[in-house]
Amino acid sequence: MNTKAPDYRLIGKPTRRIDGREVVTGRATYTQDIKLKDMLIGKILRSPHAAAEVVSIDLAPALALPGVFAALKLAEGKVRYAGQQVAAVAAVDERTAEKALSRIKVEYKTLPYVVDWEKARDASAPQVRDGKGNVEKFNEYSRGDVEKGFAEADVVVERTYRTAFEIHNPAETHGSVAYWEGDHLVVYDSTQNIHGVRDGLARTLKVPAANVTVIKKYMGGGFGSKLGLNEHTVAAANLARETRRPVKILLSRRDNAVCVGYRPSSLQTYKVGAKKDGSLTAFSLVNYASGGVGAGDEVSEPVVDIYKCPNCKVEEFTVFTNTGASRATRAPGHTQGALGLEGVMDELAAALEMDPLELRKKNYSTRNLGDTGLPYSTKGLDMCYELGAKAIGWERRNRKPGEGSGPVRRGIGVATSIWFGAGVPGTLADIVLYPDMSVEVVCGTQDLGTGTRTHMAVVAAETLGLEPKDITVKLGNSDYPWAPLSGGSLTTPSVAPAVRDAALKAVDRLKAVAAARLKVAADDVAMGDRKFFAKSAPEKTVVFADVYRDLRRETPFHGERTGYPGDAYAFNTFGAHFAEVDVNVETGRIRVLKHVAAHDSGQIINKLTAESQVVGAVTQGLSAGLFEERVMDDTTGNPVNPNLCDYKIATSLDIPEITPIFVDIVDTRLNNLGTKGLGEPPRIPSSAAIANAVYNAIGVHVREIPMTPQRVLAALKRKEAGS
């Protein structure tokens, strides 16, 4: 299979966002910008208790307030976390709506609760779910014989790693605007899944899906928190139906922290065995994840897949607590798993007195399931290792972790990633050609701010021989051709091949029209420099404008993302990150100096937006690795840092030099462009690479993120104590 990237004119090159001017000038319309005639403001009353029984709700005092048009009861029976919906109102303005909430009378019978996931593991802890324990096994996997593998090992290392609860905190909080046109519901929603929200609303409200339209024009991020139908969206639709007026509900930053998800925590214990030469003999992983009233994340896919190892055993448990349910967060499970797996690989390398990068190369796999399953269709991880190591200056690292001296120690670390990113077959896109040479690309996908509009324009322009500015892109409407959610690195490998398919069909039609003018066979027609010409007689030409005019009317071409042989090959993306840090051993402060992110995500469509994805993901990984942690208050059952003042995130002053590298291996088995997803992959190993760089600097692994100064100093004390 030829995996070399074709010499495209536009694809793979840097192209400025076609909507960049609209975004930076404030002309782009976000859900929060929607203002409709006679629009009401909706507000939601939330439970202050982590566990309680709702005895009664009296809406009458709120409804008696002038300017209040509707009020709804949203809860009955038990509420199981602080922040759960209880009631909602719609009023003429925000102040009146807030006042109405304060007048709703709710009688609660408070119940025992537990918000600390470690306390929830105790058999005597309050039960979060009626009649069920708080700890439940939700994943297990095994291959080979791990006990035999450990017996065969020359070195066995066992370590435990922790990751914190991480809040999504998109720039644009969640929000919806709903209104009814007769029996037809229209919703503007800040969502990563317009078709999923449409279908969810239809089921919940018991109306035909054909009577629901969901629109998302622009969006300020989601990172997984906006993948499905939200309760506040349903409330807005019901309030709009009752009042027969548009209703807008916007969530606050506090709401963002308590009721629309977060990345679950993890407690991962790894045991790994290896021969003296570094060959892995066995892996075991026991993980406890906590996702509040929902399940935690499986973190085991990296240990199951990445490294060649014949024996592997995984057991994963979820721990329920009285906190809101977690949601998918950029690369769910994989980021936590990367921290643990890559940390134990570095600690194993130290025990073997081996270069950590050489240990990874020694156990390089060409098939999934630890080299026991399907062959990878393509895999460029070896190139990522090579190019990333060169860019960071891997030879400068400490040969032995912590061998430096002085108050500030420097270290370099590496970490590996694996992700899916194959895209969704069945994704649809239309190309519409007009006689005046204008071109539309239409797809019911959504742009989260990552550049989907631009990559659609690039693919269409490349195929049609035009420029991206010549293409009008229409997306963000559930009435457009179907596309999957934008999450899991699905968007580009789903949408771009569908656009390409439609554009190739359009080119075939244009060549047929040109052939009639040139009086040659259609297969003798070629295209270039905005002209069609006969390959057999290049002097015979016809300009684009004349061919488009011959179409006589707008002409649509339907494209579809086709399937791929998933039963014969494993289709994955890979990456290797390298980080360089300084650690002050007197204060515990970490400063990241440089971060190199090398990725194999197939054919890159737009290098500029791809680099933006990497820079954003590395920034998030640094932020989670050094700062981010939701903290709960045992005495109230509420978070103590549900805002951007007390919940620390990285700022521009914390961001190092970031170098994205793409190996551009085209996977022709996967789709007609050979492209794979890139949204998740650069987030996965970023925190782990920084943690391993800290280990290389100070000679002890912190083993918990965020690596706060206190935790760094505690690790150094552990090192001094020899534990």
Instruction: Quote the pLDDT of residue 550.
Output: 97
Looking at the structure, tell me whether residues 307 and 456 fall in a common domain.
no
Looking at the structure, tell me whether residues 527 and 464 fall in a common domain.
yes
- 123 within some domain: no
668, amino acid identity: T
pLDDT digits (tens, 9 = 90+) for 109-162: 999 999 999 999 999 999 999 999 999 999 999 999 999 999 999 999 999 999
Share of the chain above pLDDT 90, in %: 98
Helix (H) or strand (E) holding 596: strand 590-600
Give dist(CA 119, CA 134) in Å, integer.
10
Checking if the pLDDT of 1 tops 80, the result is: no
Write the CATH number for 533. Answer: 3.30.365.10
Looking at the structure, tell me whether residues 498 and 600 fall in a common domain.
no
Q: First vs last Cα of the chain: how many Å apart?
A: 51
Last residue of a domain, one of 560, 577, 602: 560
Instruction: Quote the pLDDT of residue 4.
Output: 83
Looking at the structure, tell me whether residues 572 and 548 fall in a common domain.
no
Looking at the structure, tell me whether residues 269 and 410 fall in a common domain.
yes
Instruction: Quote the pLDDT of residue 664.
Output: 87
- 521 within some domain: yes
Looking at the structure, tell me whether residues 555 and 684 fall in a common domain.
no
Instruction: Quote the pLDDT of residue 179.
Output: 98
| DSSP secondary structure of 503-558 | HHHHHHHHHHHHHHHHTS-GGGEEEETTEEEESS-TT-EEEHHHHHHTT-S-EEEE
Looking at the structure, tell me whether residues 407 and 480 fall in a common domain.
no
- 7 within some domain: no
- 495 within some domain: yes
Average pLDDT over residues 405-420: 97
Average pLDDT over residues 233-242: 98
Average pLDDT over residues 24-39: 97
Last residue of a domain, one of 508, 541, 560: 560
pLDDT digits (tens, 9 = 90+) for 591-613: 999 999 999 999 999 999 999 99
Alpha helices in 69-154 (DSSP H): 94-103, 117-120, 146-152
459, amino acid identity: V
Question: What is the extent of the structural domain holding 452?
Answer: 20-27+423-560
Looking at the structure, tell me whether residues 344 and 406 fall in a common domain.
yes
Looking at the structure, tell me whether residues 350 and 313 fall in a common domain.
yes
- 252 within some domain: no
The answer for residues whose C-beta is within 8 angstroms of residue 516's C-beta and 6 or more apart is 550
Last residue of a domain, one of 529, 560, 591: 560
Instruction: Quote the pLDDT of residue 172.
Output: 96
Looking at the structure, tell me whether residues 411 and 427 fall in a common domain.
no
- 327 within some domain: yes
Cβ–Cβ under 8 Å, residues 483 and 190 = no
Looking at the structure, tell me whether residues 450 and 532 fall in a common domain.
yes
- 56 within some domain: no
Give dist(CA 399, CA 397) in Å, integer.
6
Checking if the pLDDT of 425 tops 90, the result is: yes
Average pLDDT over residues 361-377: 98
Instruction: Quote the pLDDT of residue 722.
Output: 83
Average pLDDT over residues 67-83: 97
Instruction: Quote the pLDDT of residue 567.
Output: 96
Q: How many domains, the chain?
A: 2
Question: ω before 170 within 30° of 0 (cis)?
Answer: no
Instruction: Quote the pLDDT of residue 593.
Output: 98
Looking at the structure, tell me whether residues 555 and 410 fall in a common domain.
no
- 184 within some domain: no
Instruction: Quote the pLDDT of residue 3.
Output: 84
Checking if the pLDDT of 454 tops 80, the result is: yes
pLDDT digits (tens, 9 = 90+) for 637-678: 999 999 999 999 999 999 999 999 999 899 999 999 999 999
Average per-residue pLDDT for the chain:
97
Distances (CA, A) of 13 to 449, 458, 471, 610: 19, 10, 17, 10
